[in-house]
Structure 1
Amino acid sequence: MAATPERSVKLNPLNEEWKKLCDVLDRSPGNGWRRLGEIVAQDRRFRLSADNLEMCSLKVLQPDGSPSRMLLMMLAERGCTCGQLMDFLRALANAEALHCLQALALQIITQPQSVSLLCGHNLHLSCQAVGHSPVQYQWFKSKEEVPNGSTADLAINGVHVKDGGFYICRVNCGESFQFSQWAQVDVLDVSVSSGYARQSSDDNLEVALQPRPQRLLAGAALQLECGAAGCPIPHYQWHCDGVPLPGATRRKLTIPNATQDHQGKYRCGIISGGERTWTSEVEVLIAPSAPVQISGPMECSEDDLYAIGGGSTDFLLNSVPEQLHAADKVALLIGNLSYQNHPQLKAPMVDVYDLTNVLRQLDFKVVSLLDLTELEMRNAVHEFLLLLHKGVYGLLYYAGHGYENYGNSFMVPVDAPNPYRSADCLCVQSILKLMQEKETGLNVFLLDMCRKRNVHDESTHNVILRVTANIVFGYATCQDAEAFELSSSDFTNGVFVKFLKKRLLDDEKITVVLDRVAEDMGQFDATRGKQALEIRSSLSERRALTDPVLPGAADLPHSQQWAKAHELPESMYVDFECGAQIKLGFAAEFSNVLVVYTHIVRKPAELSTCQAHVTDFPQELDVDPKAMNRSTPEDTGVYLLSSHLPHHCLYTRLCSLQKLKDDLVFTACLRGASAAMDADDSVSWTENVNIGKPLIARLDLHQATRQNSCLLTCPMPHSPTAHYKHPDQDRSHQHHRLDVSVGGRTVAEGVAAYGSSIPIEASDDVDELHTAFIESLQLQRS
């Protein structure tokens, strides 16, 4: 029988919904799984042998073993579709099994997408499904069936506000049916007088409704509205004075009884797909509901209050908060040690690891990276800048080679030539300029590098920084001096972090903390008179790294991007044809260093010995072939995380995940031997494993430099717009940190993922709507 689109649904026997079909085939004595296997074996396309059927039969020896599921898994691996399996079941004459498969074969392959559009535009929703026979469609808006909504595509020309709401599609296929996901349709009326309308002429995300300023009396309802057209439907987050408002994630912001505490400047952040934009910022003034006295017994009427206000809030009594807050806390830690053309370093790995653990205790969202090239460093900084907005605490720590010329500091990537110039490095002041544009609450730079002058770099830079009161620099050493890491055969901290990590948890202003670190370093005999901490600050408030984060910051859309760099693959089980099963586990030593460990969970009784290992990793990853599949973490180079990994496993360390271009695919191998075999004989089985893009690989730092890279902050020779090329000169200059040594190491913490997938605007409403909708339908199987 020829294959059709309806018959092309793939088998998925691992899905729990297939259990009923497997149960039917397992308990059917005359026309069950074995007879089905014999029928399939007659079709040469699926290469099913007697040994394969015997392997299926061995599943009955396991407590939860299912010969049918094993058989269906074999067919799935050989490309069998639901339509082909139906033909085999018809030949088997097992009506109950055929009925189970017919219910499973229906799949919705295209779900309707939520959308926001302007009045008068055309709405198009699509729901595509495949099944064992032709499918029919039935569209609903809330509880009501949509007239003429009986095709896969629902189209409404010239929508009105009344067409907004929630839509769902029922897909029918014979006796089976499924419901699509809910799609929210938001229709914006740009003719209303509550905002300023702007209609987009292209597909870019653009604000269509702007909020308007408000002047209210205390106790009145504060109402602000905005809106943007886009697909997928935009997500909203209101801010007041740069601080995100918990729970304010709808187009309309309503505060029933506004008080003077609600006064301030409001704007809304809007995200659709990968685009982000902001509404205009509007001021909300709230006057007391009763007359107030302003320097004397004078009373003011309501009209007088508005006149006094006149766009200023000086007439209101504002209390000074006792506790400063951060809108969010994010940190980027970079440690460069494996230089291609310069002396290798050791301490940056330990320093980054220890600071990561301390900063996470302070509720920082930390991405920690080792050994980045120039391109990777620029892209990492770009992703870091995406998280910064008004009120956020941003911290950037760098450990590695560096230098300082004419007051500008430069961080040296691991691929920098010898000698290097500014075109090969990242300018700290350029990054700071971009951070200032974000209006952050606190900018902290901790630079653990040399500040000697680079005689090979004669370029002068003109990075003009704005006067702000939120900058703190902590230099590990003074100007024109070197930073030290101490000689040791063990993995130890550099001098700066040795003392810094002991003070960061102090609940003090950040400059006070750094002053204490400077005092501690001054008492250290090994570097006294050679290295002294230098602090530069324009901080006018008592900002501390211990300041609490406002509730709801971790759930904001801007946090989702950084969350990608923390996503570990889930542990998984790999089954082999011989009946053996191994477990694959994963741990993150850094955001670009993944540890894979394997353990045999089940060994078939007929095998006297059984060993498992992993191999065939992508070439772009840094994996030492001699250190793979080792019996201890230390043997594979995992020193810092070793005490937190499970025992009795084989370990492999994968570095440079930022270079991974595609999904991480590798091979799990199993080698075994039975007692009947000769001593040197064995049998091998392999399975391919795909774990997607783990940790920092999801951010694609290997791609071309982002548009807002620090390259573009000043027109200097290292700007790509100047088409700068390195001169063909003898590069003999070498700049490096000195060696000296100390110990110290903190306990590791697991990598935590921040945020979750963003729901549509009214997710609570959808849950209630779905329950009411299903209860309103009297669905019966025909």
Structure 2
Amino acid sequence: MGEPGRGAAGALPLRRLAQPLLRRLSELLDRAVPGRGWRDLAQRAGSRGTVRLSPSDLEQCSLKVLEPEGSPSQSLLKLLGDRGCTVAELVELLQGLEHTEALQCLSLAGIKIVVQPDSQAVLAGQVVKLCCWATGHPFVRYQWFKQEKEIPHGTSPELVLNPVNVNDSGFYICRVNSESSFVFSRWARLEVCDVQGASHEGFIGLPENKLHICIQPQLQNLTVGDALVLECGAVGNPIPHYQWFRNGFPLANGSKNIYTVTSVDVEHQGTYWCRVFNDREDQDSEKIEVIIGRKAMAVECTEEELSDLQEPDLLERSNHRPVGLLYYAGHGYENYGNSFMVPVDVPNPYRSANCLCVQNILKLMQAKETGLNVFLLDMCRKRNEYDDTILILDALKVTANIVFGYATCQGAEAFEIQQSGLANGIFMKFLKDRLLEDKKITVLLDEVAEDMGKCHLTKGKQALEIRSSLSEKRALTDPIQQTASSAESLARNLQWAKAHELPESMYLEFKCGVQIQLGFAAEFSNVMIIYTRIVKKPPEIAVCRAYVTDFALDLDVDPKEANKGTPEETGSYLVSKDLPKHCLYTRLSSLQKLREHLIFTVCLHYEYPGIEDTMDERKEVNVGKPLIAKLGLHHGFKTKNCLQTCCVANNPFHNQMESSPVASQYYIPSHCQPNSCPGVYHPNRMCAGNIRQLEACSCSGTSRILATRHEVQNDSRPVGKSNVPVETTDDTVELEFLLSNSLRFPEQQQP
């Protein structure tokens, strides 16, 4: 194993060792027995050619005994440090003197865990070994914990459980101790699977650590109101993870080895199975049927009541007709009666093949037999002079209840108001003030049109256009009706939840003793804020600063706007009040383009008092695929050459998933809290009379309050170190589910 002073700490100049450590070394050398004192150290240094020490140097050191607080050893160590001696060289000299006490003192500078314990799932009765090795051995000591309790006799680098039983399941951690310092290993989760009534003979001969399902789910024959409990158990290393399926669709809240429904109904009937997987392999359990029967119940009804049940209006009211809603804010154009939404990364010039046709989206909605289709399009409708293509679309169905709310008239532009880095389309500015009014959609849009007509900034330039075939009294406040039996709905909800999962906050320990917190917040499903904060700094370090860098080229990260002192400086306004203070903030957007895991570097700069040189340490961090990146939207998309950039790429009002041309309406699961399900924004009301006082923003050097959509598109927790471990959350792997064809538009092609 490693020796004290070897590794990164060994290259440290001797003069940069902490003063308390130098004083401790000096005391040990001053009072050492003959053959291990400061003179012996000086002689060995001279004989080895490490540094040159003259007789006058040694005399100067010896005279220090005449001073009240003088120390010959401290004077010698200062001389060695001034002449370039490193910690590694001092260690070699002390090893030659066999000065164990001094070597143990120096080992504090080099404690580092090099072998971490692994999480694993095993069968009861097996032999389990958890390993933790650290540099500095044998000058370090080990203590194992299960949760927060010390394990008796768990004082070696290897914790052996022989035989292991179900009571041994839990989280384990090892504390590596030295004379006055300690570090913790990472948490290791141990799952012990007890296959009752079965021998282990069926598992003999399996390759070590191989993934294997040892408990299969069992057929269930239930009655409405019963509890459904399905169990699947597996062993393997890395530790297995689980995802339950019904009728081919992944189940929300089905990521544990046991899947439960407290009270079943007939819609829970179907074919269930569990997919077990880890980083190396995956395996499906047996497929079983869950049969749900209704409780026997006698019901008396008259012939008249039976006849009433067959009336068409009752049948019509008993069937929920789904709603299609599309809100889009961004650049667009209109050619030959067809409207096109333009993604931010289109080539220049762009044509209809690079964009999404609104009429095609309506056709897809009609294919779903939607009872109401609403389009709110906050975009320009001028003609694209570079696009002469005349699209020949299949005829739309003749259906009622279609409403188009165009932000502007045909052939005209749509404008934005920009204030303090934020931008709102004129249409949305007035629409958001009336969104919660319980009025027929067309009535509400008429009132929005009247409000827009009073805006002096756009009078004669922009007017709302409404097209409608509404034959029912439908409002934007109509309740959303969910059919729990819809497998597609469950799949969508699971994907929506996954698209709002953030990496867990983490603490990084650097070799110099600095600890930083790395936290994450979401502004949209494809926009994430990373913040860094120093939570621990050794007293011998004068100044330190941590920042993040080296992001994937797929992401939109401007280095000049990264690692800022406030979220607003990065272009983030919506979540700034919810973020911790006194941090450095970096905003990552376009996460839907992320193809691989998000890997970046955390750099630490620090300085010691009186030393001009700045020390640097770097740590690579892998946070998997955060937010929308989990859904792998880039799969199947054709890459395009994008020659344009947008000066307001941080505009939070464009879409729910920023920079994506389509924002669909989804149900947000109740278990997702506001911080984990971002994108629902409740802006403050702003009356038309306040527009005069809006601040102007500068795009490409031109100061203005009003900008067209076309111009906007083309403008170029502190914790102290505890000696008792703190249990972490469950160690779950991030699943990747691709959107099914029914959940995305085939015309959408985006990297």
TM-score by structure 1 length?
A: 0.50
Partners of 1:686 and 1:77 in 2: how far apart?
Answer: 23
1:430 is matched with 360
1:290 is matched with 301
Partners of 1:566 and 1:290 in 2: how far apart?
Answer: 49
Could you tell me whether the CA contact under 8 Å between 1:411 and 1:427 is conserved in 2?
A: yes
Summarize the Cα distance change of 1:50–1:575 in structure 2 as closer, same or farther, 3 Å threshold: farther
Could you tell me whether the CA contact under 8 Å between 2:213 and 2:232 is conserved in 1?
A: no
Summarize the Cα distance change of 1:154–1:421 in structure 2 as closer, same or farther, 3 Å threshold: closer
2:291 is matched with 252
Residue 545 of structure 1, aligned match among 460, 469, 476: 476
Could you tell me whether the CA contact under 8 Å between 1:592 and 1:695 is conserved in 2?
A: yes
Residue 410 of structure 2, aligned match among 479, 484, 505: 479
Task: Figure out how many residues of one structure are paired with residues of the other and give that number.
Answer: 474
1:73 is matched with 113
* Percent identical residues: 47
Could you tell me whether the CA contact under 8 Å between 1:138 and 1:145 is conserved in 2?
A: no
Q: CA RMSD in A?
A: 5.6
Could you tell me whether the CA contact under 8 Å between 1:55 and 1:578 is conserved in 2?
A: no
Partners of 2:378 and 2:193 in 1: how far apart?
Answer: 63
1:496 aligns with 2:536: no
1:648 is matched with 582
1:460 aligns with 2:500: no
From the CA coordinates, give the structure whose radius of gyration is larger.
2
Question: What is the CA distance between 1:314 and its match in structure 2?
Answer: 2.3
Residue 700 of structure 1, aligned match among 632, 641, 653: 632
Partners of 1:452 and 1:101 in 2: how far apart?
Answer: 71
More moved, 481-490 vs 531-540: 481-490
Which whole-Å deviations, capped at 9, do the CAs of 1:166-194 have from their partners, x for residues lacking one? 6777989xxxxxx99999999xxxxxxxx
Question: What is the CA distance between 1:224 and its match in structure 2?
Answer: 8.2
2:710 is matched with none
1:627 aligns with 2:666: no
Residue identity opposite 1:537 in structure 2: S
Residue identity opposite 2:624 in structure 1: G
1:586 aligns with 2:520: yes
1:101 aligns with 2:97: no
Partners of 2:214 and 2:161 in 1: how far apart?
Answer: 29
TM alignment of 1:184-223, pairs within 5 A: none
Partners of 1:645 and 1:225 in 2: how far apart?
Answer: 40
Partners of 2:410 and 2:230 in 1: how far apart?
Answer: 63
Partners of 1:648 and 1:51 in 2: how far apart?
Answer: 40
TM alignment of 1:144-159, pairs within 5 A: 144-145=197-198, 149=202, 151=204
1:139 aligns with 2:195: yes
* Structure 2 runs not aligned, ≥5 long: 1-90, 93-99, 119-127, 143-151, 170-187, 207-211, 222-227, 250-263, 277-287, 647-652, 654-672, 680-729, 733-751
TM alignment of 1:299-378, pairs within 5 A: 313-315=309-311, 318=314
TM alignment of 1:398-437, pairs within 5 A: 398-437=328-367
Partners of 1:223 and 1:490 in 2: how far apart?
Answer: 52
Could you tell me whether the CA contact under 8 Å between 1:86 and 1:101 is conserved in 2?
A: no
Could you tell me whether the CA contact under 8 Å between 1:139 and 1:149 is conserved in 2?
A: no
TM-score by structure 2 length?
A: 0.52
Question: What is the CA distance between 1:444 and its match in structure 2?
Answer: 2.1
2:16 is matched with none
* Structure 1 runs not aligned, ≥5 long: 1-40, 43-48, 59-69, 112-129, 173-178, 187-203, 207-220, 234-248, 260-287, 295-304, 326-389, 707-719, 727-733, 737-742, 760-782
1:397 aligns with 2:327: yes
1:570 is matched with 504
1:450 is matched with 380
Could you tell me whether the CA contact under 8 Å between 1:53 and 1:71 is conserved in 2?
A: no
Summarize the Cα distance change of 1:396–1:131 in structure 2 as closer, same or farther, 3 Å threshold: closer
Could you tell me whether the CA contact under 8 Å between 2:215 and 2:234 is conserved in 1?
A: no
Summarize the Cα distance change of 1:565–1:392 in structure 2 as closer, same or farther, 3 Å threshold: farther
Summarize the Cα distance change of 1:453–1:222 in structure 2 as closer, same or farther, 3 Å threshold: closer
Which whole-Å deviations, capped at 9, do the CAs of 1:288-321 have from their partners, x for residues lacking one? 7232437xxxxxxxxxx5xx69xxx425994997
Question: What is the CA distance between 1:589 and its match in structure 2?
Answer: 2.5
Residue 527 of structure 1, aligned match among 450, 455, 458: 458
Summarize the Cα distance change of 1:422–1:645 in structure 2 as closer, same or farther, 3 Å threshold: same
Residue 613 of structure 1, aligned match among 547, 551, 565: 547
Summarize the Cα distance change of 1:450–1:551 in structure 2 as closer, same or farther, 3 Å threshold: closer
1:513 is matched with 444
Structure 2 counterpart SS, 1:752: coil
Could you tell me whether the CA contact under 8 Å between 2:330 and 2:341 is conserved in 1?
A: yes
Partners of 2:623 and 2:322 in 1: how far apart?
Answer: 33
Question: What is the CA distance between 1:550 and its match in structure 2?
Answer: 4.2
Residue identity opposite 1:432 in structure 2: L
Could you tell me whether the CA contact under 8 Å between 1:165 and 1:184 is conserved in 2?
A: no
1:599 aligns with 2:504: no
Summarize the Cα distance change of 1:100–1:168 in structure 2 as closer, same or farther, 3 Å threshold: farther
Which whole-Å deviations, capped at 9, do the CAs of 1:430-476 have from their partners, x for residues lacking one? 11211222233543221111222334424132232223344321110
Partners of 1:684 and 1:613 in 2: how far apart?
Answer: 11
Summarize the Cα distance change of 1:514–1:106 in structure 2 as closer, same or farther, 3 Å threshold: farther
Summarize the Cα distance change of 1:556–1:580 in structure 2 as closer, same or farther, 3 Å threshold: same
Which whole-Å deviations, capped at 9, do the CAs of 1:61-114 have from their partners, x for residues lacking one? xxxxxxxxx957344399xx968769999x999965359701299799xx9xxx
Summarize the Cα distance change of 1:53–1:611 in structure 2 as closer, same or farther, 3 Å threshold: farther
Could you tell me whether the CA contact under 8 Å between 2:339 and 2:359 is conserved in 1?
A: yes
1:356 is matched with none
2:602 is matched with 668
